[in-house]
Amino acid sequence: MLAELVQFLFAGLTAGAIYALVGLGFGLIYNASHVINFAQGEFVMLGGMTTVFAAAAGLPLAAAVAVAILVTVAAGLALEMVAVPTRNASVVTLIIITIGASISYRGAAQAFFDKQFHTLPSFSGEDPIDFLGAAILPQTLWVLGITVLIVIALQLFFHRTLLGKAVLATSHNRLAARLVGINVQLVLLLSFGLSAALGAIAGVLITPITSTNFEVGIMLGLKGFCAAILGGLGSGVGAVVGGLLVGLIEAFGAGYISSEYKDAMAFGIILLVLFFMPSGLFGKRTTERV
């Protein structure tokens, strides 16, 4: 009984950690530009696929990961440079541009790499670890550990460094930030790059468990978006809690109720939460000033 519970818990946490990383990426870009970047899932895909192909080309795993993060960051920066200079474009237009970008990245991956599924070796072996009767893959610990590290690093970055504070200031009020001398252009570039890096790391971490192909970004992006919305768009804590919640609901739903409806349950609960708390669990309650 307990073994089952722990098994479901870890299944949920692993998936949830990835959703959280994707959700954080959504939040970063949203804060800086008010754009919802629908190419976020493609960053995850690019991270995984580039690592696979760089490793296949003979690079050691660590170098392949570095290459993958660089390539993905470049893709993120390119998106910012294409999307944001459309100065007078409304946010909706920018969002549509990101949808276009997601399709382009998918197409490019299909052409550059291939249409097959690929996997990576686990970072530290495939032998499951027995924990309270549940079997846990070492890779799961990697996923959880690195996610925790990233969350801590982001917190430090935003609250302890000048650059991080500049990003926060821009997210609160772009005009005011510019008036106090913050380079808003740089902040925008930074948040797209950072968000792409987060996605790439998520992609690298998850590939040994789930394998990857050029289309995995669609579903991961959608789930990450749900995580961000559930937690409150733009809230860092919210994205993490939201991601873990979505993952846990899925795992427990599939385990205890029915695997047929696990996606429906996750999306249903999100609808309920938004119905009663439209700005998400941790979102700022904004009051319109008349």
Partner 1 sequence: MRRRLMRALGMIALALGMVIVGRGPLYAADGSIRIGSFLAVTGPASFLGDPELKTLQMYIELINTDGGVNGRQLELIHYDSQANPKNAVGFVKRLIDQDEVDIIIGGSASGETLAVMPLVDKAEVPFISLAGSIKIIDPVQKWVFKTPHTDRMACQKIFEHMQGEGIQRIGMISGTGGFGKSMQGQCQEVAGDYGIEILADETYGPKDTDMTAQLTKIKGTEGIQAVLNPGFGQGPAIVTKNFRQLGFEVPMYQSHGVASKKYIELAGEAAEGVRLPAAALLVADKLPDTDRQKPVVVAYKQAFEDRHGAGSVSTFGGHAYDALFMAVEAMQRCQCSDAAGVRDELEKTAGFMGTAGEVTMSPEDHLGLGLSAFRMLEVKGGDWALLD
**Which residues contact partner 1 (rule: CB under 8 A)?**
4, 7-8, 10-11, 14-15, 110, 115-119, 121, 126, 128, 135-137, 206, 209-211, 213, 215-216, 218-219, 250-252, 254-255, 259-260, 262-263
**Least distance (Å) from partner 1 to the CB of residue 53?**
14
Q: How far is CA 148 from CA 17, 77, 126, 156, 250, in A?
A: 9, 25, 22, 12, 21
Buried b (16+ CB within 10 A) or exposed e, 179-213: eeebebeebbbbbbbbbbbbbbbbbbbbbbbbebb
Give the C-alpha separation, 52 to 206, whole Å: 12
Measured from the CB atom, the residue of 10 and 53 that comes closer to partner 1 is 10
Q: What is the 8-class DSSP label of residue 257?
A: I
Q: What DSSP letter does each residue of 98-148 carry, written as one string?
A: HHHHHHHHHHHHHHHS-SS-B----TT-SPPEEETTEEE-HHHHHHHHHHH
**49 within 8 A of 212, measured Cβ to Cβ:** yes
Residue number with CB closer to partner 1 (41 or 234): 41
CB of 186 to partner 1, least distance (A): 36
Q: Which is nearer to partner 1, 178 or 262 (CB)?
A: 262
Beta bridge partners of 130: 135
Torsion of CA 153, 159, 163, 169, to 10 degrees: 130
Q: How far is the CB of 267 from partner 1 (least distance, A)?
A: 12
Residue number, 190 or 206, with CB nearest to partner 1: 206
Alpha carbons 110 and 125: distance in angstroms, whole number:
29
Query: Nearest distance from residue 212's CB to partner 1, in Å?
Result: 9
CB of 205 to partner 1, least distance (A): 12
Instruction: Please report how close the Cβ of residue 62 comes to partner 1 at its closest, in angstroms.
Output: 20
Cβ distance to partner 1 smaller for residue 1 or 271: 1
Nearer to partner 1, 84 or 136 (CB): 136
